[in-house]
């Protein structure tokens, strides 16, 4: 098909796929972590910890808020781009689309997913938002039918749980977590090679984008790969 895909894996475990498209007007970026709703049992320092349903979905929401309480969505809008995220059973993804300022959007995406910050106030605020979201899904016949079937097929497993968790479990795993944490580390705790993939597709110059990603990772993100998460999760 004549597709050109540039692939590299960085020493910190991040896998990068660059797919240049000369006939594209838009550029899309997505970063995906192998951390979804079924991942409620997590190894921390070699010890398995059990966390409530919806913990991946809650983290997805929280990463859109920086340490100052500002919304990353607004920062993407200021760059003239769109941004979103989603959580599935096995992964969490964060993405953007833009027609300009590609490197600035990549930097913002990496910044957003590299660090999370928690306060009692923001955890409580996000719990209310997710509880409302869960209530909305509970009013959907299709959604109820789908998860009702899963509950019958896979009882007493994480597959039987709603991806967002329950109104009671929403954000429960983060209660007591105050301050910044390394979100990359959280997304795959105790993994020797973190399963995190960054894909950029669209109109861009590959060497320029490659150099820029390496610069951002080495100077601004890599330093955030710490063991701080263990003191919260241990």
Average pLDDT over residues 114-132: 78
- The strand pair at 196-202 and 82-87 is best described as unpaired
pLDDT tens readout for residues 186-215 = 544 444 334 789 999 999 888 888 888 877
When mean pLDDT is compared across 11-25, 189-203, 217-231, the lowest value belongs to 217-231
Task: Tell me: pLDDT of 218 over 50.
Answer: yes
Q: What 3-state DSSP class applies to 172?
A: helix
**Catalytic annotation, pick one of 3, 26, 48, 60:** 60
Question: Out of 66-70, 209-213, 220-224, which region has the weakest mean confidence (pLDDT)?
Answer: 220-224
Tell me, what's the pLDDT at 233? 32
Mean pLDDT of 56-66: 84
List Cβ neighbours of 162 (8 Å cut-off, separation of 6 or more). Answer: 37, 53, 54, 134, 137, 147
Residue 61: predicted pLDDT: 85
Q: Could you tell me if 166 and 54 are in contact, meaning their C-beta atoms sit under 8 angstroms apart?
A: yes
The question of whether 60 is a catalytic residue gets the answer yes
Confidence of residue 157 (pLDDT cuts 50, 70, 90): confident
Distance CA 125, CA 63 (A): 14
Give the C-alpha separation, 201 to 175, whole Å: 38
The residues with which 197 forms a beta bridge, in sequence order, are 15, 32
Whether the per-residue pLDDT at 231 is higher than 60: the answer is: no
Residue 172 predicted with pLDDT over 70: no
Which pLDDT score is estimated for 220?
Answer: 60
Judged against a pLDDT cut of 90, whether residue 132 lies above it is answered with: no
What is the token pair recorded at 152?
């019958």
Identify which of 53-62, 104-113, 161-170 has the greatest average pLDDT.
Answer: 104-113
> What's the pLDDT score for residue 19?
94
**Of 92-106, 130-144, 168-182, where does mean pLDDT reach its minimum?**
168-182
pLDDT attached to residue 176 = 54
């Amino acid at each position: 098909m004549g597709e050109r895909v540039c692939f590299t894996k960085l020493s910190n475990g991040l896998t990068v796929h660059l797919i240049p498209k000369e006939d594209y007007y838009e550029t899309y970026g997505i970063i995906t972590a192998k951390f979804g709703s079924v991942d409620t049992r997590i190894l921390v320092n070699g010890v398995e910890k059990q966390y409530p349903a919806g913990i991946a979905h809650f983290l997805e929401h929280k990463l859109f808020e920086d340490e100052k309480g500002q919304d990353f969505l607004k920062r993407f809008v200021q760059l003239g781009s769109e941004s979103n995220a989603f959580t599935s059973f096995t992964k969490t993804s964060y993405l953007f689309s833009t027609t300009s300022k590609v490197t600035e959007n990549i930097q913002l995406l990496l910044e957003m997913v590299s660090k999370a910050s928690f306060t009692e106030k923001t955890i409580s605020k996000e719990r209310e938002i997710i509880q409302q979201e869960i209530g909305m899904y509970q009013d959907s016949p299709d959604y109820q039918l789908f998860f009702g079937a899963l509950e019958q097929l896979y009882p007493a497993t994480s597959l039987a749980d709603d991806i967002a968790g329950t109104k009671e479990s929403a954000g429960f795993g983060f209660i007591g977590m105050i301050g910044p944490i390394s979100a990359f580390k959280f997304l795959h705790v105790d993994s020797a090679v973190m399963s995190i993939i960054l894909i950029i597709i669209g109109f861009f110059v590959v060497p320029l984008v490659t150099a820029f990603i390496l610069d951002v990772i080495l100077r601004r993100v890599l330093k955030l790969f710490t063991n701080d998460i263990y003191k919260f999760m241990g």
